[in-house]
Structure 1
Amino acid sequence: MITAAGVADALTPAFVEMVQAGAARPVSGLEVVDPEDLMPVERGDLVVLVGTRRADEVVDAVRHAEAAAGLVLRRTWADLPQVREACAAAALPLLAVADGVPWSSVLGLLRSALDIARTMSHQQGPVAHVYSDLFDMADKISAIVDAPVTVEDATSRVLAYSTGQHDVDEARMSTIIGRRVPREVRGHFRSLGVFRRLARSDEPFFVPAGEGGVKPRYVVPVRAGGEWLGSVWAVVDAPVPQARERELVAAAQVIALYLLRLRTQGELQRQVQLDQIRSLLRGEPTERPDWLPPGPWRVAALTGPTQAGTAEARCELWLALARRHGWRQPLVADLDDRVYAVLGSEGSGPGTWFWLGEVVQKEWPRNSVLGIAAGSPVGTLAKLTESRHQADEVDRLAPAALPRPVASVETSWAALVVARALAGLGQTPLVSPVAALVEADHERAGTELTTLEAVIDYWGEPQRAARALAVHPNTIRYRMARLAETCPVDLDDPLQRLAVRLEIARIRAGG
């Protein structure tokens, strides 16, 4: 299921924008209500309030929609303080629609978004008929101008093209074959200011021929709500007559709806999968989703690429990094202000623990805050939460105990045991010889604690303890003799050695 926030993220802000978050409630349906016909709405409905005339009507509608998954209002009403306060009190997500956008367009997009979300809850992947419609539109425009046509998005990626590609230039053939405008051709059009004009204007325009056999083009911007979504390119010898230009503009408006659907579909697919991954991390699913490879799995906590910004922003950066290195559908999601990946525990291909470790090792010299910390492998979905909590534990270890940039329970188990023991001890000093040593002489305690620590760490090997402290072995013997007077412990007792070592670790952790 998708939430109101997911719906807003999938649609262009020119139509719908999330202005105030509330509880993350799954959206199960769309309900259009009028202020004069209010009644309690069903749980899970996304409520669209139309025909509002007064602020008190909106506040009353909020009271009736307290159980809803979200409330959609005109921007004028969504910006009122009393409306926002009422929504906040009910933890009701509030979405705003621009005042000038027709309700019919908004409702169509919302219904389409929810339909796509329901489809994607059961099967992933694009809806093929949208691309089929774009190819049909390319053929229709080609018939209008009697010329080859391509439909491209704002990044010059070819989405559709007309049939009958005779008598075209090499640039167009390269575009069709590569499904993207070649770099040198984009550079030519950029030098003429074509993309700058596309981003700023709604008006179609003619682009003259260029060097290397690049034929002239007639270009029609595709926009929706003031936002540039893409363009239509026709290989013509001269500007299109005004009558045909009007037909092209009307066709571009239809294409804008298709491009919005494509983008909505892609965003919804991402939002649906994010919600599904979060459910996995919480241990909610009982059956393995189709898109999750067979186990065993492990959860990794992802640090960086920068600690600044929100978890959502860091998640986007990790998704881009994973895709760049070959993981086509990264199982990466943000949860509770952290970013996690669900990884295969075996093998070495994209999406496995070994593979991600290799990727991070390669990237780390360029970005030293990058890091991953993984929990233990698990064989059931219910235990993914256990692996996640272990990953958090590993990630919280002190830098000295964490072999960055790649760490796991297997490589950090000893440090984890000590960290858990220290957590059990707490920070309240115990009545122990080590605590008494620190209280008695702060000036010498640092040196003596370090000496005691080295002697225990290299028990039975005074030469190694001396080398670790860069002192003479006789210095070690002298300090230990003095310590026996101020810190009476029996280091021949292994239990006391362990207790002293943990006490030293606790004191260091507490500063």
Structure 2
Amino acid sequence: MVLRLECAPAGEDIPVGPQIIHGLHEPLMVSPSGFLILVGGAAEDSGTLEVIARAGETGCSAVVLKSYGADLTSAVSAARQAGIALCTVPDDMPWRHFDALVTAASGALEPAQDTYASVGLGDLFALANVIAYQVGGAVSIEDPRGHVLAHSSLPHQEIDEIRRSAILGRQTPHRPGNSAEYERVIRADGPVRFDIPADDHTDRLAMAVRAGSQLLGLVWVLDGSPALGDGAESALEEAAKVTALHLLRARTHRDPSRRHRAEALASLLDGEIGGRTAAGQLGLAQEAGTVVVAFAQSAPEETPGLAGARIVDLVNLYCEAWHPQALCVAAGATVYALLPVRNDAGAQQRVVKFAENVCDTVRRSTQVVLKAGIGARNDRLDRVPAGRRTADRVLRALAADGGRLEAATVEDVRSRVTLLEYLDRGASNADLGPGPVQRIIEHDESNDSAYGISLLAYLDAFGEAIPAAARLSIHENTLRYRIRRIQKLFGLDLDDPETRLVTWLQLSLHQLGRADVRPDGGVSAPTKRASSNA
């Protein structure tokens, strides 16, 4: 018998994921339904019992070890408490042979996942299989020090002796030229191909995995049997982007204190806890100076959940670089960052640069366009909820701004924020009866004309026909004729300053209302483009 079941507290009919070859004192990655092969663990050793307990916490389904004739009572008890199965293999069976048997059996019984959306966040072994399917060769995912974090196990893809040794030892073996190869991959902007004329060493394709400028790891793909196709390099580039997300998420799962602090931040932003309580949970002084930055996508993400998760992880990465106590949390479609700041002249500009860097990194890494609303500086944690409301207002104003700014403070868009607040208040002058602006709007809607848009552009340009006409893509004489006609048809006296002010305000509020700017910063429908027809 190759595999002996010692206990199965959740029953024998449970899903089992990819095998994980784990050394006794190595960090344990999150692995939903993982099949943990514990190499070097003695059944009665306290370290073995601790690994069994942690395997249950990280989502593994089973742990496999060798008894070497020892009593398994403690190991079985630990497995029962962890809620996972415990199995043993014969003491004289080499681990590499057992790993090969499991790989062949799992490959024959279960179809390979072939899309990134099918992989749970942080499940690096399932991710390695999908990358292997997409790129076309056996894959290993390593950290920057060459430790093997995960590897693919598709049965039709062969591996060489170097890869086999790396999997069994969880570390790429040292050999001449190894350091130079790693350095070449780390310095490159894209995939790097290695043609290796050695019997035990197959050709390789490799690429560094980054989040912004930070190196997270490397992905290596064997170009042997079968050989890689023409699209392998572009497929590996896409794989590296997805791998960055999973490596970031795996790191977050290993930091429970950050999760607890994120929960406290969410409660503080909602006003559910006060500054004193938040200070203890966030590790900040109650009088700490902070700024809230709100990030939201300007368009819905194509892959639900995936881009949003990348945004949270990338913002967290920048928060870590900003300050040890900086933190972010997602609330609906918005990601909020709380940044400790000093009270000096350059603080605001540094926060703006932080927001711009996040937006730029997210755009390059995920092709998702973000807007960033920056709240005013708060000198007490009690004021953080007010800072969030300000950041939300700025974010909403950016969405209504037509894309001119990527990140802004309230001072950058104060007028637009004020207009949106007037729009929300819904001030009505219905008792006065319909005025010229209402009649212009009704005429445009009934006749598909562009009087309102033309007049607003003219007033925005302080009555200068040339820049206003350029904005509308019409000739200035056409605009001048249109303005004279508007005054005659609707009884507008544009020589009167109060009439110009009220007309501009009503048209601007109407334009914002047509854009349907939502509180989360999204825009449901664009405003109508001016027609060249009068």
* TM-score, scaled to structure 2: 0.45
Q: Normalized per residue, which structure has more helix?
A: 1
The structure that has the greater radius of gyration is 1
* TM-score, scaled to structure 1: 0.47
